[in-house]
A and B are shown apart, each in its own frame.
Chain A
Amino acid sequence: MRLACILAMIATPILAEGSYDVYDLVPEPAALQDYEPDILLNCLRNSGSRGSRQACIGVSSGACMRAEASNHAMAYTACTGAEWGDWDARLNSTYADLVHYQTYGDRDEMAVEKLREMQRAWITFRDAACEWDSVAWGGMLGVGAGPAVADCMMVLTAQQTLFLMERARMERERAERRIRERAAQ
Chain B
Amino acid sequence: MMRIWMMTSVATMVLLPQLAVAQDMPYDPAATQSCLAEMADTDMENTNVCVGRSAEQCADASTGGFSTRSMTACMSAEYGLFDEMLNVEYAKVRGLAADLDKQANGTSFDDVSMGDRLVQMQRAWIAYRDATCAFERRQFDGGTIGELVYIDCLTTLTADQAFRLQNSVLGL
Q: Assess whether A129 is in contact with B125, with CB atoms less than 8 Å apart.
A: yes
Interface presence of A21 (CB below 8 A): no
What's the tally of chain B residues with a CB closer than 8 Å to chain A?
A: 25
Interface presence of A184 (CB below 8 A): no
Interface presence of A118 (CB below 8 A): yes
What's the tally of chain A residues with a CB closer than 8 Å to chain B?
A: 29
Bound complex: CA A136 to CA B124 (Å): 17
Interface string of A105-132 (1 = CB under 8 A from B): 0000011001101101110110111011
Interface string of B142-172 (1 = CB under 8 A from A): 0000000000000000000000100010011
Within 8 Å by CB of B134, from A114, A122, A137, lies A114
Residues of B within 8 A of A120 (CB): 131
The closest CB in chain A to the CB of B164 belongs to A129
Interface presence of A143 (CB below 8 A): no
In chain A, residues 29-79, which have Cβ atoms closer than 8 Å to a Cβ of chain B? none
Taking the closest CB of chain B, its distance from the CB of A163, in whole angstroms, is 8
Interface presence of A140 (CB below 8 A): yes
Bound complex: CA A16 to CA B117 (Å): 11
Q: Assess whether A132 is in contact with B118, with CB atoms less than 8 Å apart.
A: yes
The closest CB in chain A to the CB of B111 belongs to A17
Within 8 Å by CB of A137, from B108, B112, B120, B168, lies B168
Interface presence of A7 (CB below 8 A): no
Interface presence of A135 (CB below 8 A): yes
Given A114-B138, A121-B127, A170-B139, does the pair A136, B168 have CB atoms closer than 8 Å?
yes
Interchain pairs with CB closer than 8 A, number: 80
Bound complex: CA A16 to CA B131 (Å): 28
Interface presence of B5 (CB below 8 A): no
Q: Assess whether A129 is in contact with B124, with CB atoms less than 8 Å apart.
A: yes
Interface presence of A97 (CB below 8 A): no
Interface centre among A16, A115, A118, A137 (most CB of B within 10 A): A118
Interface presence of B110 (CB below 8 A): yes
Bound complex: CA A76 to CA B59 (Å): 44
Residues of A within 8 A of B171 (CB): 133, 136-137, 139-141, 148
Interface presence of A167 (CB below 8 A): yes
The closest CB in chain B to the CB of A159 belongs to B160
Q: Assess whether B135 is in contact with A114, with CB atoms less than 8 Å apart.
A: yes
Taking the closest CB of chain B, its distance from the CB of A130, in whole angstroms, is 9
In chain B, residues 78-135, which have Cβ atoms closer than 8 Å to a Cβ of chain A? 108-110, 112, 114, 117-118, 120-121, 123-125, 127-128, 130-132, 134-135
Q: Assess whether B127 is in contact with A125, with CB atoms less than 8 Å apart.
A: yes
Bound complex: CA A141 to CA B108 (Å): 17
Residues of B within 8 A of A139 (CB): 171
